[in-house]
Chains A and B, each alone.
Chain A
């Protein structure tokens, strides 16, 4: 990808990631060859529906996948240039060493916010302590210093520092999510992974939290991987966007590319099926068919059964990425470079 601006080392670089869940009833092909990179200050929106593999990708970067039943079959994940995936025949000692390294990275280099704020906090620990715990683990600070920093974080996310000793049940959903964000950003990580951070919140609270995230992103310069199913949130906060289906990225590019010039039939279908606040439409145009069963993926294009533009040719091969514009990749045999035919 050509970039006119100065190229800096990516915060995270994922290449050809393949992750399977091995269960008694079948192998779930959760992630099937995903590649992307996130530069500093980027906010990449990972959009997709249930079963697209987004959470699995996030957990792979955090190395929090339960193994078994999951297995990273192949691929590479580089966090700040450091390879996280060990070869399958790695020795136990190596695995232990890698886990130890990851524990140092989690919270310090890469943090994650999960979907449900109601269960993300420890119910028997005061919120301030949950923030200072992360600080004490990673920074060489005394307890009082860590507590002071935790108070600063609370203020930064819009909670009065006097509430340091409050317990999670005394807070509303929106405030709990803010505490979660404070914990995640306490050590100024380079990458923040947010897995549907506002799905469980009311719309007006969601607006507050998204505003906060934008603010903090600007202040700390943190890169973000934002997982969501809502294009509205992507338009609000992201500068890059990747659309996923059946464990693969089918289209990736800047938000201008995806919103103004979508190319993949699935992306276009998703945009068309959203009811619009501005236009008056008699009938929605949904994407036909059902989400594909990840137990049973075909050898050819996974979107074939639901695609309105597919032909017999689509059944014959597995589509590869086509760069239709600089930085805008589409995985469809009908995509073509701008200007070409």
Chain B
């Protein structure tokens, strides 16, 4: 039967001639699917912009975050101050930009810490199963039933009111969920024959868990990490709003909201702009998270 050339085949052939015959791995497939999702790309752009903003804050912000322009106290958005000034004459735009420098690192470190502890716990639970799993999961259930914000406040109250303690406090609240995510992810791969094959060639538990199981279970974990980042940004803002962790004059968005709420009637822009930043950040992570979930879903292949 002589081959029939269809338009699709010609397209593939010309792509191949152009040297694009790469080996496709599941990771590359997922990336391609992600790139086709417009909302996910929007989310990614938002996050990249915010990250750049945080990194290059001193270069981008028109003023320092505590520079006071006393004459123009509480003035609305204008040419000199795009986002207006607060009650001490500080430029809101600069304070919002510097705010990214506070919120994002705290959120990132929190998630990293939660991944470390929750991850190890989750992997151990899924691998060893049985009584160990039962006991640890029940402890995590109790731990997780305490609202994260309450836990964080308790930790800060115990250890001192600064940013580092805030990170610890927030991650304590996030560990149970992370542990459950890692545990669930490992469960999906722990039954594979290659686990037993590794045992038969002499691999120890540690090697199997961290070299074979974890890298193969990474999909749901990446998704949870991105979603948790969004959640933690919100949590950081919530706690700063309550005066926990970040103290003025540090320009964290939540604490900006807190000071701004006194002036809601007269200078609502003091709340609107930080609020927009919070919303945008969380939105960015959520959009990326949704896109990732679709991209990693094997059934949509």
Q: Which residues of A contact B (CB under 8 A)?
A: 18, 20, 22, 24-27, 29, 32-33, 71, 73-74, 248, 297, 299, 318
Contact = CB atoms under 8 A, between A and B. Distances in A.
Contacts of A27: 6, 8-9, 12
B38 interface: no
7 contacts: A20-B9, A24-B24, A24-B32, A27-B9, A29-B3, A248-B1, A318-B2
Given A299-B2, A299-B3, 8 more contacts: A20-B8, A24-B24, A25-B24, A26-B12, A27-B9, A27-B12, A318-B1, A318-B2
Contacts of A33: 1
B4 interface: yes
A32 B1 contact: yes
Interface residues of B, number: 11
B300 to A, nearest CB: 12
Chain B interface mostly: loop
Nearest to B23: A25
Nearest to A298: B3
Which secondary structure characterizes the binding site on chain A?
strand
A178 B223 CA distance: 42
A24 B12 CA distance: 8
Contact of A74 (B2, B4, B12, B29): B4
Contacts of B2: 299, 318
A73 B9 CA distance: 12
Contacts of B4: 18, 32, 73-74
A166 B122 CA distance: 38
A117 to B, nearest CB: 21
A242 B6 CA distance: 27
Nearest to B33: A24
Identify which of B8, B9, B24, B32 gathers the most chain A CB atoms within 10 Å of its CB. Answer: B8
Nearest to B6: A73
Contact of B8 (A18, A22, A248): A22
A318 B24 CA distance: 31
Interface string B11-36: 01000000000001000010010000
